[in-house]
Amino acid sequence: MSATSASSGGLVQTFNRNKLSWVGIVLFMVLCLIAIFAPFVAPYGPIDQSVMTRMRPPSMEHLFGTDAFGRDQFSRAVYGARISLSVGVVSVFLGMSVGGLLGVLAGYFGKRIDTVIMRSMDVLLSFPTLITGIVIVALLGPSLTNVIVAITVTLIPKFARIARAPTLAVKERAYIEACRAMGFSHARIILFHIVPNILTEILVMASLWTANAIMIEAGFAFLGLGVRPPTPTWGGMIREGFEHIFQAPWMSIFPGLCILLAVLSLNLIGDGLRDALDPRLKQVRDMG
Amino acid sequence: MNVLDVDGLKKFFHTRVGAFGGKPVTVRAVDGVSFHIETGEAFGLVGESGCGKSTVGRAVLHLIPPDAGRVALHGQDLMQLDPAELRALRPSMQMIFQDPYSSLNPKQKVGAALAEPIRVHGRGSGPEAERIVADLLQEVGLPAEAANRYPHEFSGGQRQRIAIARALTLDPDLIIADEAVSALDVSIQAQILKLLSEIMQRRGLSFLFISHDLGVVRVFCKRLAVMYLGRIVESGPVGPVFDTPLHPYTQILRAASPIPDPSARTELVRLSGEIPSASNPPPGCHFHPRCPFATDLCRTVTPKTTEPVTGRHVACHLHDPAQADAMRATKPLAAKELYFP
Amino acid sequence: MTDTVLQVRNLTTSFYIGGEWHPAVRGVSFDLARDETLAIVGESGCGKSVTVMSIMRLLPEAGSRIEGEILLDGVPIGTDPEAMQKLRGDRMAMIFQEPMTALNPVLRVGFQVAEPLMQHRGLSREAAMEEAVRLLELVGIPSAKSRAREYPHQFSGGMRQRVMIAMALACEPEVLFADEPTTALDVTIQAQVLGLLEDLRHDKGMGLLLITHSMGVVAAVADRVAVMYAGAIVETGPVDKIFAGPVHPYTEGLLRSIPRPDRDAQDIYSIPGAVPSIDKMPKGCRFAPRCPLKINRCETVDPVLVEITPGHFAACLVRAGEPS
């Protein structure tokens, strides 16, 4: 009894019980606000150079210190949040929409459509993320858009797989049969009766993969495959700091911490969503 | 005119058994089933799990396409219709399912679930749909506020009422109820049965009532058919079929059905044998391996359906005058004594 | 009764829900004799399964509280978890509703039947396997020797339930608990399994506690019956007396609601309302809100079981009165 009520008790109540997921939400909101209002938050311009203040350690004037060009690392990290977070959010949103829809179609129609969609997804999945990224960036040239395209392409098959499995389960439920008996169209059944019932499971993965996408972007930037300098990104900052890791460790540590915070907040949100989804896990934890 | 005519309905499933593809197996889920339902009548379809009774219900509704046979609603053959025509006819036939927990969309409020088919089929919009929903909720004995709540806020019995209301939204002529009261507790089951018979009376509805529970069928239905491994073995009016069953399977089914009366307690049927799988049914009469009267004839020849009593049909060599001599000639090999009160 | 094997006294089991303890079973007492079938009957949520799980101590420790006294052969049990572990499967055994989930799908059937013998009787593997084949024969599994080497998925539902029974019987228990043993089975198979249980109970002189929702099953096999409603026994007595003359209005309503295959339908009778949920139990008699005989006093006084004729008890202020 309690299991059924918990599973359908709504996200907000479950989130209320899991305090940590609220910490994650607040943290992520703060990061997003900082990114949106970067010009107001950052005390200096992200590419303003100053020969006088090169490689300064953190101080009240320069919270995160300065780099080899005397640029304020805090301001760069604030502007870098724009790139990192938008790459994460946009690529996951695109990957979720396209991949999720393909997965739902494959699961719902089955047979030939299922085979064609899922086999092509398997092909995409068989290339490692980094290789796919390198190929796409090499073909299209390094830019923000192309980084997003590269990450989206690697996310599509993952979302397709995640969406297909619950679709298979939901389509066997009697209310879908009832919809067919009432003469509803496939589009209506998919949009109004299948998608809402698998959305939570997809959102859990979306939050976790946003964290992943942020890290992948940082990896691309570290390898010089991402946005061109001098535009700041967290991954790019780590790479620039790497050359001076022994003289000026703060140059790499602070952007690293930013990535950590973003990933941590998204993982906390993902855990909260998962509790909302699978109340049995939650109950076991409460009991033990 | 009959609301539903089913003639020689067949539905086979093709699967593979075993690892790495395996060998193809044909499951003859429904193997030539014929019956009709008169307008305003509740017709029972009875049998044990795997006998194909649920498949009949779904094939009649064309939720799964039948392989052969004729399904006619008000004399119109559904097999001849194109998908658009079939969709236009769907409102006339609706279904009620066994499990009230899986038959409602958990993310949809009750009011929205009931209004959706009304809007989709252009039977009303906005306030008019709301009025229809309010009337339906009242008809199934739920308060009007129920429209603003989600299915999980209701008990099993109340959910079944919601499912009944949804089946009524399109004002159907025929309702296919697949084990509609089987998952409910006795006291709730009685309430739902009562509600269904009131609705049937008031709206002049017809029912195809699929159930494994002979008691429920006796209370709700006028006529019934008994299925065994994809075929109808006996059909007729409920009272006579249950009181003096003709087919040996019906006799065993009836004897095994528990009766809430210890004074009628009898030796429990120590009938041995399992229900064979529909993927590999025995030749001849499907029931012969479990039948106490089985002869060599039963092992080889499929029995014809005869009408030994007016209005009652049975598919058994024992009741086929044409086979009387052959049946006498081949003595039952294992003449077990069948107990029947 | 000298032949009493199991005594349950004032069993109360509570669950911690929403920050409060709510009793799911309230003050349940009964005796079970050797070679006797006692049926506990009631609708879902009445506490019949929780009663058995409490006796067997199979409830999760966190969030549940068991009070009362349980005596096996006159000896109190249940307080020491290790001693209970030794009793379970040995002197007290249990059969569940769903034999597919109660059997381990990756172990051979014969081994699973032999396991309790190795655990409790210290038999060698060979001896236990031999005994397992004998047990499978006993519960009517054809060609038991070869089937013992098969896996549960190769068995049909009825055959799996027979395997469960063989497992439960392995150590010749004194008390057998059967929780809805035939609910998942077809009627013809149900009749076979009930018949088998009855035969075995008689041969072994076991006490059989049968949990069921079906009055038809009760009528077919039980000697005595206890009707539970909202966590308490509302009526108990010999089967023929209760079916012929139910005293509690709930028992009466339940019997009248059952659709019978053996007579033509009169009007469908139904008890109005629904079973109250565990955290919203009414005060006084818990059946009062649905009861046609309700008087004012029913809303304040919780009725206790009163003996009407020898062995026949009911808890109803109107029909059975109050203890003098």
User: Could you read off the pLDDT of B6-56 as tens digits, one per residue?
Assistant: 999 999 988 776 666 667 888 888 999 999 999 999 999 999 888 899 999
A5, part of any domain = no
* Token couple for B318: 């024992």
The CA distance from B44 to B4, in Å, is 13
Q: What is the pLDDT of residues B276-334, one digit of tens each?
A: 777 778 888 999 888 888 888 888 899 999 999 999 999 999 888 887 777 776 655 44
A215, part of any domain = yes
Element (H, E) at A236: helix A234-242
A133, part of any domain = yes
- Neighbors of chain B by Cβ distance (3+ pairs < 8 Å): A, C
C131, part of any domain = no
A124, part of any domain = yes
Out of B90, B104, B163, closest to residue A183 by CB: B90
pLDDT at A7: 40
Instruction: List C-alpha distances in Å: A188 to A180, A193, A196, B182, B276.
Output: 10, 7, 12, 30, 41
Residues in chain B: 341
Q: Across chain C, what does the average pLDDT equal?
A: 89
Query: Which ipTM value was assigned to this complex?
Result: 0.84
pLDDT at A156: 92
Position of tokens 């067919």? Answer: A180
CA dihedral A209, A215, A218, A223 (to 10 degrees): -100
pLDDT at A176: 92
Q: Between these two residues, A175 and B276, which has the higher pLDDT value?
A: A175
CATH number of the CATH domain containing C187? 3.40.50.300
Taking residues B119-132, report their average pLDDT. Answer: 88
C91, part of any domain = yes
Residue A46 has pLDDT above 80, yes or no: no
The CA distance from A97 to A85, in Å, is 18
Cβ-based contacts of A1 with chain C (< 8 Å): 45, 277-278
pLDDT at A284: 42
pLDDT at B95: 93
Question: DSSP per residue over B199-267, as a string?
Answer: HHHHHT-EEEEEES-HHHHHHH-SEEEEEETTEEEEEEEHHHHHHS--SHHHHHHHHHS--S-GGG---
A98, part of any domain = yes
pLDDT at A97: 94
Residues in chain C: 324
C271, part of any domain = yes
Out of C243, C259, C271, closest to residue B216 by CB: C259
pLDDT at C309: 92
Q: Is B266 exposed, middle or buried (0-12, 13-18, 19+ CB in 10 A)?
A: exposed
pLDDT at B18: 65
User: Using the beta-carbon criterion (under 8 Å), do C60 and A287 form an inter-chain contact?
Assistant: yes
C154, part of any domain = no
Phi, psi of A166 (to 5 degrees): -65, -30
Q: β-strands B174-178, B93-96: how paired?
A: parallel
Instruction: List C-alpha distances in Å: B82 to B78, B79, B86, B94, B170.
Output: 9, 8, 6, 19, 21
Q: Between these two residues, B225 and A222, which has the higher pLDDT value?
A: B225
Q: Name, in order, each residue with C-beta under 8 angstroms of A264's C-beta and a sequence gap of 6 or more.
A: A24, A27
The CA distance from B101 to B175, in Å, is 19
The CA distance from A170 to B10, in Å, is 28
At B341, is the pLDDT very low, low, confident or very high (cuts 50, 70, 90)?
very low
Residues in chain A: 288
For residues B59 and B9, the answer to whether their CB atoms sit within 8 Å is yes
Coil, helix or strand at residue A274: helix
Q: What is the pLDDT of residues B161-220, one digit of tens each?
A: 999 999 999 999 999 999 999 888 888 999 999 999 999 999 999 999 999 999 999 999
- State the total domains in chain A: 1
C126, part of any domain = no
pLDDT at A264: 87
Domain that holds residue C221: 4-102+174-314
Question: DSSP per residue over C44-80, as a string?
Answer: TTSSHHHHHHHHTT-S-STTEEEEEEEEETTEEESS-
Domain that holds residue A110: 25-44+64-287
Give the mutation candidate from C224, C260, C291 for the B interface (greatest B CB count, under 10 A): C260
Q: What is the pLDDT of residues B53-82, one digit of tens each?
A: 999 999 999 999 999 999 999 999 998 888
Out of A7, A174, A183, closest to residue B121 by CB: A183
For residues C181 and C193, the answer to whether their CB atoms sit within 8 Å is yes
Q: What is the pLDDT of residues A261-274, one digit of tens each?
A: 888 888 888 888 77
The CA distance from C220 to B257, in Å, is 10
* Token couple for A122: 């398997």
User: Using the beta-carbon criterion (under 8 Å), do A288 and C62 form an inter-chain contact?
Assistant: yes
Nearest CA to B336 among B283, B281, B290, B301? Answer: B290
Query: A168 to chain B nearest CA, in Å?
Result: 14
Partnered with residue C50 across adjacent β-strands are: none
pLDDT at C31: 94
pLDDT at A117: 92
CATH number of the CATH domain containing A142? 1.10.3720.10
Phi/psi region, residue C188 (left: phi>0; alpha: psi -120 to 50; beta: rest), is alpha
Q: Say whether the peptide bond before residue A230 is cis (omega within 30 degrees of 0).
A: yes
For residues C232 and C28, the answer to whether their CB atoms sit within 8 Å is yes
Element (H, E) at A280: helix A279-287
* All domains in chain B, ordered by first residue: 2-241 (3.40.50.300), 244-341 (no CATH)
Nearest CA to B267 among C283, C249, C221? Answer: C221
C138, part of any domain = no
Q: Name, in order, each residue with C-beta under 8 angstroms of B116's C-beta and a sequence gap of 6 or more.
A: A184, A192, B108
Query: B319 to chain C nearest CA, in Å?
Result: 23
Instruction: List C-alpha distances in Å: C270 to A80, B158, C138, C213, C291.
Output: 69, 15, 42, 16, 12
Residue A127 has pLDDT above 90, yes or no: no
User: Using the beta-carbon criterion (under 8 Å), do A193 and B87 form an inter-chain contact?
Assistant: no
Q: Between these two residues, A181 and A70, which has the higher pLDDT value?
A: A181
C250, part of any domain = yes
**Residue of chain A with shortest Cα separation from B120:** A184
Q: Between these two residues, B262 and C234, which has the higher pLDDT value?
A: C234
A58, part of any domain = no
Out of A7, A173, A181, closest to residue B102 by CB: A173
- State the total domains in chain C: 1
A8, part of any domain = no
A256, part of any domain = yes
C117, part of any domain = no
Taking residues B140-162, report their average pLDDT. Answer: 92
Q: Is C259 touching B (CB cutoff 8 A)?
A: yes
Q: Between these two residues, A137 and A197, which has the higher pLDDT value?
A: A197
A49-63, A236-250, C238-252: which is most confident: C238-252
Instruction: List C-alpha distances in Å: C269 to B165, B286, C243.
Output: 22, 38, 16
Q: Between these two residues, A276 and C239, which has the higher pLDDT value?
A: C239
* Token couple for A136: 């796409």
Q: Name, in order, each residue with C-beta under 8 angstroms of A58's C-beta and a sequence gap of 6 or more.
A: A64, A65, A250, A254
Write out residues in chain C with pLDDT < 50, as ranges: 1
- Neighbors of chain A by Cβ distance (3+ pairs < 8 Å): B, C
Cβ-based contacts of A181 with chain B (< 8 Å): 61, 63, 90, 93-95
Out of B103, B121, B150, closest to residue A178 by CB: B103
